Structure 1
Amino acid sequence: MRGRWGVPLPKGRRTVVVTGASGGVGRATARAFAARGDRVALLARGREGLAGAADEVQRAGGEALVVPVDMADAKAVDDAAQRVADVFGHIDVWVNDAFAGVFAPFTEITPDEFRRVTEVTYLGYVFGTRAALRHMLPRDRGTIVQVGSALAYRGIPLQSAYCGAKHAIQGFNESLRCELLHARSGVRTTMVQLPAVNTPQFDWVLSRMPGQARPVAPVYQPEVAARAIVHAASHGRRREYWVGGSTAATLIANAVVPGLLDRYLARTGFDSQQDRGGHGGPPNLWAPVDGPHGRDHGAHGRFDDQSIARSPQDWISRNRGRMGAGLVVGGLGAAVTAGLRRVKAHG
């Protein structure tokens, strides 16, 4: 049986923490958990976005708790987790999604900017995971979902700080997963690798490109990501989920012909990440952009007319047990063939 937003209804109510919940994928994910009737703690900096997210959670059927926090502050993250436990009693699911980014060649990113992206995007996940474990390990239960990206495996130009942080999350999560398995812990960790998503980040990211920042097509709606994250939270034994055919094609092509992909991205990666003319609003690297006189940006960016609302590959990933090994292999083989043809065509 399924509720609103296409997510399965739960057997029991859970307490879920979502970081980066004020906008984009985090916002859509909070809404999807709420549609199951879950209690959702919303962690982010932007107060207008948090207020909007809380309203959506309540209207979707969940219970909301707003906890303003900068994920780069380890003490503040610990305090936020304790606040959730004090109000809701425990934490069942922790979703790490908060991030920051800079769109610019590496040589044009200052050390302070690079450090800030790393502290929010990578260390924010580390601090969030540590805070979650402090509450999950004594109960010997819980699931931590790391929201990743195809860029956790495949670096692209103009996003060196973000790609570096996502690669670091990948390695950190694998190490932690091994430790939990060694301890035979009931706590699970899994990672969801996302494609390009239609979120407001491209309007508030710090950019030094001549055009306005944009995601590399194909672009998916944040609800596609949210469905995968909610599913991963209930199936934490899986080490990883790939969302979107473009993610599968990119990761497999990178494993097979990484050098060819380097040359392809060197040729296409600059133009494909910017629109001609104009720039976004003020960047949110150092402070939220929806301050006391700002606005709530919601989950969607400006690419609704270009975005994909459904992903057959994501459905296969979430239902691979039903599909059978042969069909999965066949689908991945098609993704590999398509990805390699695309790479070679531009090589």
Structure 2
Amino acid sequence: MPRIPNAVTVITGASSGIGKATALAFAREGARLVLAARRPEALEDTARECRALGAEAIAVPTDVSDGAQVEALARAAIDVHGRVDVWFNNVGTGVFGPYWEATAELQRKVVEINLIGTMQGSSAALPHFLRQGGGVLINMCSMGGWSPTPFAASYAASKFGIRGFSASLRQELTGKPGIHVCAVFPALVDTPGLDRAANVSGRRLEPKALYLTPEAVAEVVLALVRRPRAEVAVGWEATVARVAYGLAPGLTETVSGAAIRAALRRAGRVPRSEGAVARPIAEGTSSRSGKPVPHARGPSLGTLALGGIGLLLGAQWLSGAMTRRG
């Protein structure tokens, strides 16, 4: 494993949210940072904050949906440092609302940024890992990569795709023990991301749920470099979503759809917006959203165990009921 001090670390989506929090976390550990995002000024602000913590950091403005720009990002890392030890594919966006209410172009852009951007980042990183004989590739997935996300269908498609892509890469790299492919699946995180997403629902996006902090996700990313794992959930909701959809996919789809429809009926009206999907916007340059949101603490093993037992019993009851009806 690369030691984090001096590890050359590429982080995309570093101008805000999880990317910014992760850049600062790696800076505190003494990593050498190559930071990417579409907004040059906000990206340079993150690099400046990292340098103030004593780390080396350069900003390379990059649109990850553009393969040539992603290759230029990798070349910048090699030109400055001669190697790449960690590559964190972190960019993510979405369109919220009924799928048919957004243009096909806007939905396609979500997949280009989330899935194709991850694939292009991986294509840029892996040749250097293979040449070096080691490296850690970390792909940002989501709780939505394990279970459906109604009213964010293209987002769900991209996250399911990232999970499958990451799992496939791991098998292709069998026999390369120094190279690791990891996927991170956080629950809802307090970042500017919701405000920057496209919203064609006409309703305000204010989930009434506990949020993870972006710093909590950043700590998981640091831990993956120290001890790589194939898939890691962040937040007990992500674990429950994984178990629930694995045991009772139909019920999970029905419940999640009903919950979001109910929330939409209660939400206030707002203008429809394309957010930052098609092009960058100035708003949202901090790690957190700045809103007064409740933050979740890490669940105890007892909480997870009780949740798992409840899901198992529920699945068994449903199975028995369906058998009796049959």
Q: How does 1:1-347 map to 2 (within 5 A)?
A: 12-181=5-174, 183-215=175-207, 217-236=209-228, 238-272=229-263, 275-278=267-270, 283-290=275-282, 297-308=285-296, 310-312=297-299, 332-337=304-309
Separation in structure 2 between the aligned mates of residue 11 and residue 69 of structure 1, nearest angstrom: 24
Deviations 1:7-60 (A, max 9, x none): xxx674211000111111111111111110111111110123202211221223
Please say if residues 282 and 289 of structure 1, whose CA atoms lie closer than 8 Å, have aligned partners that are also in contact. no
Counterpart of 2:110 in 1: which secondary structure?
A: helix
| Corresponding residue for residue 320 of structure 2 | none
For 2:200, give the aligned amino acid.
R
* Structure 1, 10-19 or 117-126: larger mean CA deviation: 10-19
Separation in structure 2 between the aligned mates of residue 201 and residue 280 of structure 1, nearest angstrom: 16
Q: Which runs of 5+ in 2 are unaligned?
A: 318-326
Separation in structure 1 between the aligned mates of residue 243 and residue 275 of structure 2, nearest angstrom: 33
Deviations 1:247-306 (A, max 9, x none): 11111111112111112112111344784244598711121112xxxx562111144432
Distance 1:42 1:232, change over 3 A: same
Separation in structure 1 between the aligned mates of residue 79 and residue 25 of structure 2, nearest angstrom: 23
Separation in structure 1 between the aligned mates of residue 279 and residue 311 of structure 2, nearest angstrom: 38
Question: Normalising by structure 1, what TM-score?
Answer: 0.84
Separation in structure 1 between the aligned mates of residue 209 and residue 109 of structure 2, nearest angstrom: 27
Counterpart of 1:28 in 2: which secondary structure?
A: helix
Separation in structure 1 between the aligned mates of residue 189 and residue 82 of structure 2, nearest angstrom: 34
Question: Normalising by structure 2, what TM-score?
Answer: 0.89
Please tell me the root mean square deviation across aligned C-alpha atoms, in Å. 2.4
For 2:287, give the aligned amino acid.
A
For 1:217, give the aligned amino acid.
A
For 1:333, give the aligned amino acid.
A
Deviations 1:156-199 (A, max 9, x none): 21110110000001111111000111x33421111111100011
Counterpart of 1:267 in 2: which secondary structure?
A: helix
| Corresponding residue for residue 319 of structure 1 | none
Please say if residues 21 and 215 of structure 2, whose CA atoms lie closer than 8 Å, have aligned partners that are also in contact. yes
For 2:289, give the aligned amino acid.
G
Distance 1:269 1:11, change over 3 A: closer
Separation in structure 1 between the aligned mates of residue 206 and residue 128 of structure 2, nearest angstrom: 38
Please say if residues 199 and 299 of structure 1, whose CA atoms lie closer than 8 Å, have aligned partners that are also in contact. yes
